[in-house]
Amino acid sequence: MKHTFLTLLFLGNLFLIQAQDISLKYGKVNEDELKMTTYTPDTSAVAVVLFEYSDSHFDFNENKGIRLITNYKTKIKILKDEGLKYVNISIPYYDSKVNSSLKEEITDLQGYVYNLENGKIIKTKLNKEYIFDEQSDENYWQKKFTFPNAKVGSVIEYKYTFCSDFIEDIPDLKTMKKIPIWHSELSLEAPEYFRYNAQAKGWDLPVFKSESGVQTISFSNGYKNEYLQAKTTKYKVIADTVKALKPETHIWCIDDYCPRIEFELNGIALPGNTYKAYAKNWVTLEQNIMADKNFGKLLEMKCPYKDDAENLKKIENKRERARKALKYVQNKISWNGNYSFSGYGTNDALKNGTGNNAQINFVLLSMLKAAGLDAYPVFISTRDNGKINTSFPSLNQINTFIIAIAETDSTYFYLDGGSPYGDINVLDIKLLSENARLFEGVAVSHWENLSNLSRNATSYLIQAKIDENGLIDGTMTIQFTGECAFEFKRSCGTLTLDELKESANNSYDIEINDFQKNDSDTLINQASAILKFNKQTTTNDDMIYFTPLIVDYMSSSPFSSPTRKYPIEFDYNNLDHFNISIKIPDDYSVSELPKSTTLVNPDNSYICRFYSSTTENTINLQFMVEKKKRLFLPEEYKDLQNFYTALISKSTEQIVLKKNK
């Protein structure tokens, strides 16, 4: 009965939208579209794509060669203020002075914004003054444009042609966006000369079909143009009332789960030529990277601090030597907060004393090598950029690099010159990639997992006493290790001492009287804090009630939703450990004390241990929570929920003190 009701509800929503007469033709906007105030299938939507068409095919041109041509057009309805960001469009494209033989360009761009004013549809053309090109780096640009007349209730539409010389890198046909889509048609038509392997990817696999067709192709035989009728295969995916690809908690990059069609070029057989297998691999990609002057050439740059690097050779311990070099370079060049793969502008970073992590890392590499260390770049994709598909080599998947230093013939430790809060094997969580390409040289590279480089722990030592009025007076010493130290140091770097104190007040639900921190660079992978605090317990006649941990550890579960569609991705493995000693008043005794217990999830990847005991008028408690894996599948969600429920229940059980008669 429930399923029948939901089906009827969906069909009713579908009918309502259809009844609003949405036009699926470019240039046709009607009053129903402009009067629409909500999108019935998803009333929370801030905007909705009314249609999206993307048609890609190959063009054979005697002057420009073979190019991939994509004709794109879309229409978007703005429903709420938050949806106005979708009227600001940015399209990346490749146009390098270094490699002028290959490029991408955007042509025939046009657009309109439609508004309903006094019962009339007002159509305003996209003005050229709101279209501009912005350079991202030496190789990439952004075509940007906006619709200044757009407002809540507006409909915008635009179209353009995207021309690319990169016939081996076919953009994915993605069927979901961050806002819902009413109707979309995405296609690629490839002539028989190009043998592609099309695969459906994503968490919900999209359904696509392939159709046979014919394309007329002209080419020159040296004397005149000739024409061929080439058979084609057209890959097409059509989708209606597609839900928004909404971000969820504990997801590094929601685009990793976007339904899409991926294309891999297997080979090429042009007329008059034999078949050529196109085996694109990581070795080929590495050769191209080394040929790029903003990467390969910079790997050979001379150290700008040669004398100081020479002095570092006196330090025998490799980790200590590398750490000295890291801190030296970071004192010379401060990080601007940006990640990059290209070293374009490294000389400017040296001169100005500020730069992105790639620029800093190239300088750091030169110093590490000059200091006698074997140091190599490690190609990665930051977590928010998505996972690297190791079986599909593409430079588009890589957006930065860090540094590996050989400790032995088979082991390495890692550094990044960017964030000043990092250390040896302690990186910004964005950089903890599972698929990292350690580049020792062309054809001698290999994959490394950076997701579990350090031991991450937070230890709490709480020494407290309770008076007869139920007021707790105590000292809490916190020791941070690994990534936990990184996060604390970052907090110390962005907050004042008063702000840190206020944050701790709110986080731990205590009243802090004194806050001392030690986040010095001299502490390798560690930091600490000492908090002196008070907390009023609950009292009733001759009884005192309080929770075992005194401070608020976890009052609510982060997994309150009844279901989960996507996997749960934690930042890193970690251990939380509490060692608590509570002295109670002499004329009170313990009436109730939570029992010692162990909580374990089914695969032993999440463990909680609780121990309690009393010695004379002192309560001794041990509480430990250890997470041993970072990724939980949706089918493990219920077990994870149950574990958190039991964990919260245990940490909030009551200790009861009773006054002696």
Greater confidence (598 vs 20) lies with 598
Helices 483-494 and 497-508 meet at what angle, rounded to 10?
A: 130
Q: At 293, list the tokens.
A: 């002057």
Given a cut of 80, is residue 64 above it in pLDDT? no
Among residues 32, 46, 226, 34, which one has the least CA distance to residue 122? 34
Contact residues for 328 (Cβ-Cβ < 8 A; gap 6+):
305, 308, 367
- Residue 545, H or E segment: strand 543-546
Select from 341, 346, 387, 381 the least CA-distant residue to 363: 346
Q: Work out the pLDDT band at 8, boundaries 50, 70, 90.
A: very low
Backbone angles phi, psi at 157, to 5 degrees: -145, 150
Mean pLDDT of 173-182: 96
The confidence score (pLDDT) of residue 558 equals 93
Q: For residue 1, what pLDDT is reported?
A: 39
3-state secondary structure (DSSP) of residue 552: coil
* Helix, strand, coil tally for the chain in percent (to 5): 20, 40, 40
Residue 47 CB-half CA count within 13 A:
25
- Whether the per-residue pLDDT at 552 is higher than 50: the answer is yes
pLDDT at 280 over 80: no
On average, the pLDDT of the chain sits at: 91
Task: Detail the DSSP E strand segments found in 243-295.
Answer: 260-268, 276-277
Q: What is the predicted pLDDT for the residue at 220?
A: 59
Task: Average the pLDDT over each of 18-22, 56-60, 373-377 and give the range with the smallest value.
Answer: 18-22
In this prediction, residue 279 has a pLDDT band, given cuts at 50, 70 and 90, of low
474 neighbors 583 (Cβ within 8 angstroms): no
> Across residues 545-559, what is the average pLDDT?
93
Q: Which residues contact 648 (CB under 8 A, 6 or more apart)?
A: 554, 555, 556, 557
Query: Which of 1-5, 18-22, 130-134, 310-314 has the weakest average pLDDT?
Result: 1-5
**The predicted structure's pLDDT at residue 99:** 65
**CA angle, corner 354, sides to 350 and 357, nearest 5?**
95
Least confidently predicted of 97-111, 158-172, 264-278: 264-278
Percent of the residues in the chain that have a pLDDT greater than 90, as a whole number: 75
pLDDT, tens digit (0-9, with 9 covering 90-100), for 527-548: 999 999 999 999 998 999 999 9
Q: In which band, very low, low, confident or very high, does the pLDDT at 303 lie, cut at 50, 70 and 90?
A: very high
- At 3 the pLDDT is 40
pLDDT at 10: 42
Express each pLDDT in 30-58 by its tens digit: 999 999 999 999 999 999 999 999 999 99
Q: Is there a contact between 360 and 299 (Cβ–Cβ < 8 Å)?
A: no
Sheet holding 65-78, edge to edge: 120-125, 104-117, 155-164, 65-78, 47-61, 181-191, 225-242, 209-220
pLDDT per residue as tens digits for the range 571-584? 999 999 999 999 99
pTM above 0.85, yes or no: yes
Mean pLDDT computed over 377-403: 93
Residue-wise pLDDT for 248-265, tens only, equals 899 999 999 999 999 988
Burial 278-309 (b: 16+ CB within 10 A, else e): beeebeebbeebeebebbbebbebebbbeebb
pLDDT band at 442 (very low <50, low <70, confident <90, very high): confident
Q: Provide the β-strand partners of residue 606.
A: 627
Q: Are strands 538-540 and 543-546 parallel, antiparallel or unpaired?
A: antiparallel
Whether the per-residue pLDDT at 195 is higher than 80: the answer is yes
Mean pLDDT for the stretch of residues 419-423: 91
Pairing of strands 574-583, 588-592: unpaired
103 DSSP 8-state letter: B
Task: Please give the average per-residue pLDDT across 55-81, as a whole number.
Answer: 91
Per-residue pLDDT, 494: 82
Predicted pLDDT at 5: 37
Distance, in Å, from the CA atom of 223 to the CA atom of 557, rounded to the nearest integer, reads 75
One DSSP character per residue, 481-526 reads ETHHHHHHHHHHHHS-HHHHHHHHHHHHTSEEEEEEEE--TTSTTE
- pLDDT value, residue 13: 46
Nearest CA among 305, 420, 416 for reference residue 369:
305
Whether the predicted pLDDT of 436 surpasses 90: yes
